[in-house]
């Protein structure tokens, strides 16, 4: 585990999941056929996993990913359970879980039973979460495009400066050659 990740985990411990986040985790776990998930909540659990979502393959007991959010945080952090390397930061819990195993909105909607008011509310939350993820990703793409434009502009300035330096060097060499030919 790199020092930055270790320090962040020590300074800002994970917060407990809300009931809504538990419902998201349960829905994802039921729809993601290859993975199982649980929340480590016993005080006697390993401090490295306490209050974190632990993701494993259903076919084995080996932990793959740890997911958590800090108190007053607006993003979710995913690390590798094997080497504690930072995998990514996500705007929503659903985005983090879907990074591991995508579960489509339509699959979650059709898995819900009936059209009772709670089901409609869940559907609206799913759609809102999906839209939040889309907005987040669009923002990242926009920021990357701006970074690319800035890098291209800086490269163009560097090329012009290099060309100017080469022209100045050629002119200086030409002047030295002319001076030598007059002297010699």
pLDDT of residue 132: 75
Q: What mean pLDDT is predicted for residues 41-49?
A: 83
CA-based torsion, 56, 42, 3, 71: positive or negative? positive
pLDDT of residue 30: 84
Q: Kindly tell me if the per-residue pLDDT of 67 is higher than 50.
A: yes
Q: Kindly tell me if the per-residue pLDDT of 156 is higher than 90.
A: yes
CA distances from 97 to 18, 66, 76, 165 (A): 16, 10, 10, 53
Q: Report the distance separating Cα 32 and Cα 117, nearest Å.
A: 25
Above pLDDT 90, what percent of the chain? 27
pLDDT of residue 9: 54
Q: What mean pLDDT is predicted for residues 71-93?
A: 87
Interaxial angle between packed helices 93-100 and 19-31, expressed in degrees from 0 to 180 and rounded to the nearest 10: 20
Q: Report the distance separating Cα 124 and Cα 107, nearest Å.
A: 14
pLDDT of residue 171: 93
Q: Kindly tell me if the per-residue pLDDT of 19 is higher than 70.
A: yes
State pLDDT tens for residues 89-105: 999 898 999 888 887 54
pLDDT of residue 60: 79
Which of the listed ranges 24-28, 114-118, 160-164 does the model predict with the highest average pLDDT? Answer: 160-164
Looking at per-residue pLDDT, the higher value among 132 and 91 belongs to: 91
**Helices within 104-116 (DSSP H only):** 105-111
Average pLDDT, the chain: 81
CA distances from 45 to 42, 50, 51, 65, 94 (A): 5, 6, 9, 16, 25
Rg (CA), the chain: 27
Q: Report the distance separating Cα 28 and Cα 26, nearest Å.
A: 5
Instruction: Tell me the β-bridge partners of 65.
Output: 55, 80
pLDDT of residue 134: 77
Q: What mean pLDDT is predicted for residues 174-183?
A: 90
In terms of Cβ atoms closer than 10 Å to its own Cβ (0-12, 13-18, 19+), residue 24 is: buried
pLDDT of residue 131: 74
Q: Kindly tell me if the per-residue pLDDT of 82 is higher than 70.
A: yes
Sheet holding 86-90, edge to edge: 35-39, 53-57, 63-68, 76-80, 86-90
pLDDT of residue 114: 47
Indicate yes or no: pTM above 0.75: no
């Amino acid at each position: 585990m790199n020092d930055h990740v270790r320090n962040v985990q020590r300074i800002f411990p994970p917060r407990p999941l809300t009931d809504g986040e538990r419902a998201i985790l349960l829905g994802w776990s039921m729809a993601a056929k290859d993975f199982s998930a649980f929340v480590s909540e016993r005080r006697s659990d390993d401090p490295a996993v306490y209050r974190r979502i632990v993701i494993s393959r259903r076919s084995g007991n080996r932990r793959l990913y740890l997911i958590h959010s800090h108190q007053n945080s607006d993003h979710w952090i995913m690390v590798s359970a094997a080497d504690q390397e930072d995998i990514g930061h996500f705007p929503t819990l659903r985005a983090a879980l879907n990074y591991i195993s995508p579960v489509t909105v339509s699959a979650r909607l059709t898995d819900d039973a009936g059209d009772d008011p709670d089901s409609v509310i869940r559907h609206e939350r799913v759609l809102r979460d999906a839209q939040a993820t889309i907005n987040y990703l669009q923002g990242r793409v926009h920021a990357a495009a701006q970074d690319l434009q800035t890098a291209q502009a800086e490269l163009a300035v560097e090329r012009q400066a290099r060309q100017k330096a080469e022209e100045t060097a050629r002119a200086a060499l030409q002047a030295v050659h002319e001076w030598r030919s007059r002297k010699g």
